[in-house]
A = this chain, B = another copy of it.
């Protein structure tokens, strides 16, 4: 069996990018279900699907139902929607697989490890896709589907996936917030954020060649207290950045502060 007919539940960042990638590989996205018909329509028109907002209109004939909705909505949808006992997956990094049991007897997880935006198309080919499934046959089915859009498909259990998700928050969400803080610092001096882009590129590139631990530079790793104290002075009127500066410098110095 090969998965061909797919229903997307959700029309957010993940649903949009995953739907586009699957459709590009020739998959038939039958329906897009979203609470708001407008959102469903917006995505459905891009991938040749039928938009619906009423779960009762869900087709019986899909090979796969993908829940790409906020984590805290998964349980509610699983409990209230009829998936006709077909293959049901969610795409969440932090929700266990077992939550799907109530929705169908065939279930799994299809977690693409990436930061998605509706309006920024990403190349799926190198995005790690973490697969977990209720049994071996389902695992193989999902792995085959994932392999059609990515060259990096991994079998990952719920506990590992939760660690990966937590790691991803540090590596991506928190990293992005560091960019935001630096942008704010420059804004105060009327300097364009552009000036930092080559540095940000190189910082991300460096860890392709050596471990982040070995890539660390800056006053904290050098133990240069003179600069650190100067920066703490400079940030006196900006308590949010001050606390971030102190804590992260301390962490880099590994508590020897």
> Interface on A for B, CB 8 Å cutoff?
13, 70-72, 94, 113-117, 120, 122, 126-128, 152, 154, 159-160, 162-164, 166-183, 185-186, 188-189, 191, 193, 195-204, 206-213, 215-222, 224, 226-227, 230-231, 234-235, 240-241, 243-245, 247-248, 251-252, 255
Contacts and interface: CB of A to CB of B under 8 A. Distances in A.
Given A170-B241, A180-B211, A204-B204, 7 more contacts: A72-B224, A117-B217, A170-B179, A173-B217, A176-B212, A176-B217, A183-B213
Given A163-B186, A207-B179, A212-B180, A198 B114 contact: yes
A116 B210 CA distance: 13
24 contacts: A72-B224, A114-B199, A115-B199, A115-B206, A152-B195, A162-B234, A164-B195, A168-B199, A170-B182, A170-B244, A171-B200, A171-B203, A172-B199, A172-B202, A174-B178, A174-B244, A175-B200, A179-B207, A180-B211, A183-B213, A200-B204, A201-B204, A203-B204, A240-B255
Contacts of A189: 159-160, 163-164
A182 B168 contact: yes
- The residue in A188, A196, A210, A221 that gathers the most chain B C-beta atoms within 10 A of its C-beta is A196
